[in-house]
Amino acid sequence: MTKVNILPPDVIAKIAAGEAVDRPASVVKELLENAIDAGATHIEIHLKDAGKEFIHIKDNGSGIARENLEKIFRRHATSKISAIEDLEKLHSMGFRGEALYSIAAVSDVTLSSRTPTGEGWQIHIRGGVRQKLEPTALAQAGTDIKIAELFFNTPARRKFLKNNTSELNQILNIVLPYTLIYPQIRFMLTHAGRSLLDLRPAPSRLDRAAAALNVPMKDFLETDQEYVEEKIRVRMILGNINVQRPRRDLQFIFINHRPVESKNLSFNLNDVYKLILPPGVYGAFIVDIALDPANVDVNIHPTKREVRIKDEAMLIRLLRRMTEYQLMHKGSPKHMSFPNASVGNPETTQGLPADQLIFAPGQLQAKFNPGTYVPTENEKRLLRFARNDTQESSSLPMDFQLFGEENTLRSKFTRARYVGSFLQKFLLFEADESLLIVDQHAAQERIMYERFRDQIESAKVESQPLLTPLLLKLTPQEKIAWEELEEKLTAAGIETTQFDDDTIAVQTQPLLLKNIENVVRTLLSGEEAPRMDPAALARRACKASIVAGDKIDVSQADHQRKQLLECKDPFTCPHGRPTLIEVTQSFLDRQFLRT
Question: What is the C-alpha to C-alpha distance for residues 544 and 542, in angstroms, rounded to an integer?
Answer: 5
Per-residue b or e along 193-215, where b marks 16 or more CB atoms closer than 10 Å to that residue's CB: eeebbebeebeebbebbbbbbbb
> Half-sphere exposure (CA, 13 Å, Cβ side) for 409?
18
- What contacts 43, CB < 8 A, 6 or more positions away? 32, 35, 36, 57, 58, 59, 185, 186, 187, 188
User: In which band, very low, low, confident or very high, does the pLDDT at 353 lie, cut at 50, 70 and 90?
Assistant: very low
Residue-wise pLDDT for 372-393, tens only, equals 344 445 445 444 444 444 444 3
Q: Are strands 108-114 and 142-148 parallel, antiparallel or unpaired?
A: antiparallel
pLDDT of residue 369: 37
Residue-wise pLDDT for 459-502, tens only, equals 888 888 888 888 988 888 888 888 888 888 888 888 999 888 88
Does residue 98 carry a pLDDT above 50? yes
pLDDT of residue 419: 85
User: In which band, very low, low, confident or very high, does the pLDDT at 112 lie, cut at 50, 70 and 90?
Assistant: very high
Where along the chain do the CATH 3.30.565.10 domains lie?
A: 9-201
CATH 3.30.230.10 holds for 206-330? yes
pLDDT of residue 315: 92
DSSP 297-350: E--SSTTS-B-EETTHHHHHHHHHHHHHHIIIIIPPPPPP-HHHH-BS-GGGGG
Where along the chain do the CATH 3.30.1540.20 domains lie?
A: 350-595
Question: What is the C-alpha to C-alpha distance for residues 339 and 337, in angstroms, rounded to an integer?
Answer: 6
Nearest to 446 by CA among 335, 345, 576: 576
| Residue 582 identity (one-letter amino acid) | E
Does residue 93 carry a pLDDT above 80? no
Residue-wise pLDDT for 214-259, tens only, equals 999 999 999 999 999 888 999 999 999 889 888 899 999 999 988 9
**Positive or negative: CA dihedral 272, 278, 279, 280:** negative
Nearest to 280 by CA among 513, 537, 546, 526: 546
Three-class SS of residue 553?
coil
Note the Cα 354 to chain centre separation in Å. Answer: 36
pLDDT of residue 547: 60
Phi-psi region of 149 (alpha: psi -120 to 50; beta: other; left: phi over 0): left
Q: Which of 208-217, 354-363, 503-512, 581-590 has the lowest mean pLDDT?
A: 354-363
Q: What percentage of the chain carries pLDDT values higher than 90?
A: 30
- Looking at domain 9-201, its CATH architecture is 2-Layer Sandwich (3.30)
Question: What is the C-alpha to C-alpha distance for residues 426 and 420, in angstroms, rounded to an integer?
Answer: 9
Q: Where are the beta strands (DSSP E) in 332-476?
A: 417-422, 426-431, 434-439, 463-473
User: In which band, very low, low, confident or very high, does the pLDDT at 45 lie, cut at 50, 70 and 90?
Assistant: very high
Mean of the per-residue pLDDT values of the chain: 79
Quote the CATH superfamily of domain 350-595: MutL, C-terminal domain, dimerisation subdomain (3.30.1540.20)
DSSP 157-222: HHHT---HHHHHHHHHHHHHHHHHH-TTSEEEEEETTEEEEEE---SSHHHHHHHHHT--GGGEEE
User: In which band, very low, low, confident or very high, does the pLDDT at 350 lie, cut at 50, 70 and 90?
Assistant: very low
